[in-house]
A and B are shown apart, each in its own frame.
Chain A
């Protein structure tokens, strides 16, 4: 495609198979789950619907063609991307963080994974984004707190600095290697590249 006249056709599109029971909409965000060797010489990425809050490197954006369950399509995460957003979260604005959440093919506001450049088609819910892996998140401990050396669940807060609100989303499996965290305390979690999981990196005393 080197002779193509638009960047779109010069993007490295990767073949994937939709392992979800639902169809991936055009420009929808999806979650890579691995690779599959369909036949010798033909390897595809296996993909499914996002199942976590935000993403790091595992989320891809589908091509302009919807991909039915079990079918194959093309996705990418390079360059500036057109992606489907959830209009219920409002109209995207430059500088916002939008990313996947569990149970949706659409990008959600106040979620990590992509840097928002702006909406391109509010009727279709299309926006221009660039990948920006979510490597930290803020939240609060649950009522039971989170003891040192254990993993637990964090309630995720997001929003303007200092005015963050409860997203209603939680992050399970957060590891605390530091001091015991009390109930309903602010915490900052960091992405552990070795274990590909979250751990507390700061907490409210």
Chain B
């Protein structure tokens, strides 16, 4: 029997070899032919024939042709790519599994991994792809903007412990790494090598989510700015009236003699407030952040503040949007009876938040009538409810939710393999009673843990110790790659055909391997 390789326009084949591998980059058939006058086709079906065995690979493309001269004469070498050559091209656009400020999935963006994979395969023209083995519980955030579908498919599969497989039947499938058929026993085996492939694994896996977002109610304190720029509490201002601010004419601070200081007073006094402490405390610097195990000793650990709360509301256009920060308190709302509002309520006027400095800046003075005197004013009693992160006191790094899973067995002192998941974030919203006292928290931890567990499962699968197998068969053996069978090579010369296949290992570097680093998902 003479092994045959056929490709449109290729004649006088002397030898060939095709290695089929996992991934999204095309495998390569290396073909040596005698010189010929006609040009081979650019694209066509590659057929391997050996007796009754016929393997067809439609959609292959001629990649290159080179000529060399040796003692046998002129030899032309061809490189023919399987149909995955076309996967270099194409695009896909879409953002899915987005999460709101609470860390909750936005339902209208939800896509399961299988749905995402199906979309990607469709973008590649692989409408019959089998994605049924892809774990389907996770909801990885994807942001495809004219992205290459093949790269995104590989990334998605790797993140879930799977790999892209082009099977012998021509079907594309996503299969769990390490899971698949044994190499067949045909009686034509020439050599066989068994072994194990213990991974160089870390002691543990550590999923690191994006910065944790908290929502807390803070008590504010009135501050002013020195002409030098420093921001300090009102009574510490260098231009504070000797008798205090209580009876100072706050409409313009006319009794501050220095024009620079007077200008600063007009700009900032009773108009600027900053985070003083968490409610209901009243001691400057006393911060208790529910859900944060560390200590917050100063306000810088809470900055910059977020622009919103951890609540969402649905706009008229149906779009869920984060609610703006809430500012409430007790103040004089310019009531014509000269009285403060009777109880805490939301501040109705305009304000802006200087998120980097933790300042609330008002368009007009905000203050309260001194309830203990017939006249005079005091700073308003204000509370700001807003989302924020926490910077660790020692490292100055944002606090993030992490989940570590140790591998069984004796630790090797390697430390963990870090798996970043910036698309996931823990959210902790503190709830309060009407007296600004915390009464509970609302967290997304349960949802987060499920997502993280799926990530850990996928990553852990990559570090399993697997039995490796390599078999060389006489003749062409139709072996289809799967999650475990990583490479199959068919080759032939005038002396006959050989099939080589490996399980959980790779023996050829000729095939264009595509390994996307596992477990990374773009936010």
A: residues with CB less than 8 A from B are 1, 3-9, 13, 15, 25-27, 44, 63-68, 71-74, 82, 120-121, 124, 126, 128
Contact = CB atoms under 8 A, between A and B. Distances in A.
8 contacts: A4-B364, A5-B350, A6-B334, A15-B254, A27-B338, A64-B377, A66-B375, A124-B338
B347 to A, nearest CB: 9
A-B pairs with lowest CB-CB distance, top 5: A72-B254, A8-B334, A3-B363, A6-B334, A121-B337
A200 to B, nearest CB: 39
Nearest to B243: A68
Interface string B328-364: 0000011011110000000011100000000000011
B254 A3 contact: no
Contacts of B363: 1, 3-5
Contact of A126 (B255, B333, B338, B364): B338
Interface in B242-280: 247-252, 254-255
Interface residues of B, number: 25
Contacts of A67: 249
Contacts of A65: 247-251, 375-377
B72 interface: no
Given A6-B349, A120-B337, A124-B337, 15 more contacts: A1-B363, A1-B364, A5-B350, A6-B364, A8-B334, A27-B338, A63-B249, A64-B338, A65-B250, A66-B375, A66-B376, A68-B247, A71-B255, A74-B252, A124-B338
B249 A72 contact: yes
Interface of B: 247-252, 254-255, 333-334, 336-339, 348-350, 363-365, 369, 374-377
Contacts of A7: 334
A87 to B, nearest CB: 13
A15 B250 CA distance: 11
Contacts of A13: 251-252
A7 B338 CA distance: 14
A66 B250 CA distance: 11
A27 B335 CA distance: 13
A121 B338 CA distance: 8
Contacts of A128: 336
Contacts of A44: 254
A73 B254 contact: yes
A13 B251 CA distance: 8
B251 A63 contact: yes
Contacts of B248: 65
Nearest to A27: B338
A146 to B, nearest CB: 43
Given A1-B364, A71-B255, A126 B249 contact: no
Given A44-B254, A124-B338, A126-B338, A73 B249 contact: yes
Contact of B349 (A4, A25, A26): A4
Contacts of B334: 6-9
Contacts of B349: 4-6
Contact of A26 (B337, B338, B364): B338
Contacts of B252: 13, 15, 74
B350 A126 contact: no
A126 B350 CA distance: 28
A119 to B, nearest CB: 9
Contacts of A64: 338, 369, 375, 377
A65 B339 CA distance: 13
* Most chain A CB within a 10 A radius of its CB, from B334, B336, B349, B377: B336
Contacts of A15: 252, 254
A113 B339 CA distance: 26
Contacts of B255: 71-72
